[in-house]
């Protein structure tokens, strides 16, 4: 057993070493071949939060910045492993390396301490790490541009730099702690609180939010409940909030599909109905529940839904006759005729 553990440990070290020396951002740590001076890459002056939902085990991170596509740089989250936000003069490799270390059993504090120690430019870094047990570690380098700072709470950390005021991160913490609902709602509330305090001194441009399940399925893309990015927008938080609401509706749609595959029609329809109520003008969310009703003998209930969809876009009526051949509707000419009668007359 000891030999196996030693072998796995060596493998982990080799993997981490390859990250350090093959990362396209590793020139920040050791300097490039073309210059004797290290090159600092990708400034991401911003505010962010990492957090765990103690009740569900969900992990999440959220961020907003006056920088294009901040979601591709700052937040890193993995179910049953942890969450990382790397910002200021961002060394992106803190994200994958931090997760790799925590996946190998290191605490957030141990993972961050090791990476900081190896970084010659830690003074310009701002990094927060959260492990799957809710332990938090944060580093705000002394040369992060003011106003810069962080605050740690029970299972979360809020951090910011280049802010208009030094009240930003405390406001984020208060909003996160006082907001009810899903983890995604609490993370969003923290971002909105930061903006209400003046936010980034330069303004706003992009935002992102990631929330993963409390228990890993072993397939990372199945574990992501929310993975949303606003790359460039005059009001990124407003757009992010709209996307969260849309994501919630599609979560209900997906749940309905899962229930339907288990032949739990009533439960599926309840889930579909919640989605329709959230987005009553989304044709997709109306059409497939209508198909489900028609396929399970509840034809009269389906007809008003088909009528509403066809009024939005007659292409949905063109789709209907294609469904019986792939088993999505019964092969019943009378049924198809009844459904298509709900479409407006062609001009």
Q: pLDDT tens digits, residue range 10-63? A: 344 333 333 333 333 333 333 333 434 444 455 667 999 999 999 999 999 999
The boundaries of the domain holding residue 274 are 251-340
Is it the case that residue 276 has pLDDT exceeding 70? Answer: yes
| Residue 198 CB neighbour total at 10 angstroms | 14
Give dist(CA 143, CA 146) in Å, integer: 8
Whether residues 208 and 301 fall in one domain: no
Task: Assess if residue 141 is contained within a domain.
Answer: yes
Q: pLDDT for 49-104, tens place per residue?
A: 999 999 999 999 999 999 999 999 999 999 999 999 999 999 999 999 999 999 99
Whether residues 221 and 262 fall in one domain: no
Number of domains making up the chain: 2
Whether residues 156 and 59 fall in one domain: yes
Give dist(CA 168, CA 286) in Å, integer: 41
> What percent of the residues of the chain are helix, what percent strand, and what percent coil, each to the nearest 5?
50, 20, 35
**Which is it for the CA torsion 130, 29, 121, 190, positive or negative?**
negative
Task: Assess if residue 227 is contained within a domain.
Answer: yes
Asked if 202 and 162 count as a contact pair (C-beta separation under 8 A), the reply is yes
Compute the average pLDDT of residues 193-204.
94
Task: Assess if residue 243 is contained within a domain.
Answer: no
Whether residues 210 and 321 fall in one domain: no
Q: Structure pTM?
A: 0.84
Q: Where are the alpha helices (DSSP H) in 179-282?
A: 183-196, 220-223, 236-261, 265-278
Q: pLDDT for 113-162, tens place per residue?
A: 999 999 999 999 999 999 999 999 999 999 999 999 999 999 999 999 99
Whether residues 200 and 325 fall in one domain: no
Whether residues 86 and 226 fall in one domain: yes
Compute the average pLDDT of residues 293-315.
95
Compute the average pLDDT of residues 215-239.
95
- Per-residue confidence band for 1, with pLDDT thresholds at 50, 70 and 90: very low
Mean residue pLDDT of the chain comes to 88
The DSSP symbol for 6 reads H
For 122, list phi and psi in degrees, rounded to 5: -60, -20
pLDDT at 12: 44
Whether residues 335 and 284 fall in one domain: yes
């Amino acid at each position: 057993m000891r030999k196996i553990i030693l072998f796995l440990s060596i493998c982990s070290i080799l993997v981490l070493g390859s990250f350090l020396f093959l990362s396209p951002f590793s020139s920040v740590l050791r300097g490039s071949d073309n210059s004797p001076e290290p090159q600092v890459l990708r400034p991401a002056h911003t505010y962010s939060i990492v957090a765990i939902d103690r009740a569900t085990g969900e992990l999440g991170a959220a961020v907003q910045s006056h920088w294009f596509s901040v979601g591709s740089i700052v937040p890193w989250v993995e179910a049953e492993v942890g969450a990382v936000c790397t910002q200021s003069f961002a060394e992106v490799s803190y994200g994958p390396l931090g997760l790799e270390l925590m996946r190998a059993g290191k605490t957030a504090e141990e993972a961050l301490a090791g990476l900081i120690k190896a970084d010659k430019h830690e003074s310009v870094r701002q990094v927060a790490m959260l492990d799957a047990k809710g332990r938090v570690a944060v580093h705000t380098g002394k040369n992060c541009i003011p106003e810069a700072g962080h605050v740690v709470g029970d299972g979360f950390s809020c951090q910011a730099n280049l802010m208009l005021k030094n009240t930003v991160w405390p406001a984020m913490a208060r909003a996160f702690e006082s907001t009810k609902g899903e983890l995604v709602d609490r993370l969003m509330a923290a971002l909105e609180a930061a903006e209400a305090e003046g936010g980034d001194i330069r303004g706003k441009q992009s935002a992102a939010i990631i929330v993963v399940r409390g228990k890993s399925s072993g397939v990372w893309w199945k574990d992501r409940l929310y993975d949303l990015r606003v790359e460039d927008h005059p009001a990124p938080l407003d757009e992010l909030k709209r996307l969260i609401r849309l994501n919630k509706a599609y979560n209900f749609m997906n749940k309905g599909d899962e229930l339907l595959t288990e032949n739990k029609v009533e439960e599926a329809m309840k889930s579909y109905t919640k989605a329709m109520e959230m987005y009553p003008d989304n044709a997709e969310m109306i059409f497939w529940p209508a198909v489900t009703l028609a396929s399970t003998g509840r034809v009269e209930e389906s007809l008003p839904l088909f009528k509403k969809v066809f009024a939005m876009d007659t292409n949905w009526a063109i789709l209907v006759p294609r469904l019986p051949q792939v088993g999505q509707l019964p092969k019943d000419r009378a049924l198809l005729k009844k459904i298509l009668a709900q479409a407006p007359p062609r001009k």
